[in-house]
Amino acid sequence: MATKEYTANDFRNGNAVKWCAGCGDHAIFNSVLKALPEVAERLDIPRENFAFISGIGCSSRFVYYMNTYGFHTIHGRSAAIATGLKTARPDLSVWVCSGDGDSLAIGGNHFIHACRRNIDLNLILFNNEIYGLTKGQYSPTSKLGKVTKTSPFGTIEEPFSPAVLAIGAKASFVARTIDMELDLTKEMLVEGACHKGMSVTEALVNCVIFNNKTHADYAESKAIREERTIRLRHGEKMLFGANKEKGLVLDGLHLKVVTVGEDGYTLDDVLTHDAHSEDTALHTMLASMRYPEFPVAVGVIRDVARPTYDSEVTRQIEEQQTVKPNMKADDLFFGGETWKVE
């Protein structure tokens, strides 16, 4: 598998992209196209070893625009189908494109079990907090009280945070990005793809038609993002704000936003991000932060090493093949208790 040099264009098949103008999915698509040449290089695999699996929903149309192997499957099941593919073919780079309805409602079970198993998939969770393809019903991530066609008096359900759910299910890599942050998205995707094990990248995307500006409070402009989101980097202080003047500290068992140099808080008091910590407690707190009480965390929230499902399957097979070398079906069939009729 001699590595070729790819460009973003090598990974798109030229089909007309049919998302609505202004949809956040366009931005993610472009970030993916930019990420793949780098992933191919870093993993040393050719284009034909990439497979994109999707479920149902706007974001799941993704695969039809890619010039890789792809499978547009059924609602909610992309993680399960990708699990089978990766188990059978550990040599492939397997990607899952899924939405908040696809992965957290109808496919919630497959999502959490893929995280738990730590199968080496790269799952992009397009979180627009709405059902777009069915034209505007609330989703499991819609903010409490959200008025939609199926919640004309506001939702009465507490939403999931995809990143929190993934961490709770022991995903080994969890990141969050924002559609407009193309470079950040690309970086998260490359990191996630090179991470051995399940990577979940929650992409906060805007649905311009049915849920416009749902992330606007903290994502609308660069200036707003600087003040209302916090970019986490492993080994760096948790600082945010235009001048990095604000930071996160632990106050008892809770996170607290402080201004460095005020109220007696110094830089030393500000937490340092440890994405590699096995313990999920702080990662969960960071992923749970909501605007306006807190900045919304973006970047790699969690990145820990643990054995992957697919490599463990391979290991067990290799072990058994060492114990019983060159075994064939005939050895099984004619072995054990048999008798002859002459």
Residues near other proteins (CB under 8 A) are 13-14, 46-49, 51, 53, 63-64, 66-74, 77, 80-89, 91-92, 109-110, 113, 313, 316-317, 319-321, 323-324, 327-330, 332-334, 336-342
Are the C-beta atoms of residues 109 and 335 closer than 8 Å to each other?
no
For the CB of residue 14, give the shortest distance to other proteins in the complex, in Å.
Answer: 7
**Minimum CB distance to other proteins smaller for 95 or for 210:** 95
Tokens matching residue 220: 């609308």
Read off the amino acid at residue 171: A
Q: How far is CA 315 from CA 39, 107, 150, 156, 318, in A?
A: 25, 29, 49, 47, 5
For the CB of residue 329, give the shortest distance to other proteins in the complex, in Å.
Answer: 5
For the CB of residue 224, give the shortest distance to other proteins in the complex, in Å.
Answer: 37
Q: How many residues does the chain have?
A: 342
**Minimum CB distance to other proteins smaller for 82 or for 188:** 82
For the CB of residue 77, give the shortest distance to other proteins in the complex, in Å.
Answer: 4
**Minimum CB distance to other proteins smaller for 87 or for 137:** 87
Tracing tokens 């440890």 back to the chain, one arrives at 274
Q: How far is CA 254 from CA 131, 267, 277, 282, 288, in A?
A: 33, 18, 18, 9, 11
**Minimum CB distance to other proteins smaller for 112 or for 219:** 112
Helix (H) or strand (E) holding 42, with range, is helix 24-43
**Minimum CB distance to other proteins smaller for 73 or for 177:** 73
- 70 Cβ contact partners less than 8 Å away, ≥ 6 residues apart: 51, 52, 53, 54, 63, 64
> Which candidate, 146, 133, 185, places its Cα nearest to that of 29?
185
For the CB of residue 68, give the shortest distance to other proteins in the complex, in Å.
Answer: 5
For the CB of residue 125, give the shortest distance to other proteins in the complex, in Å.
Answer: 18
**Minimum CB distance to other proteins smaller for 89 or for 222:** 89
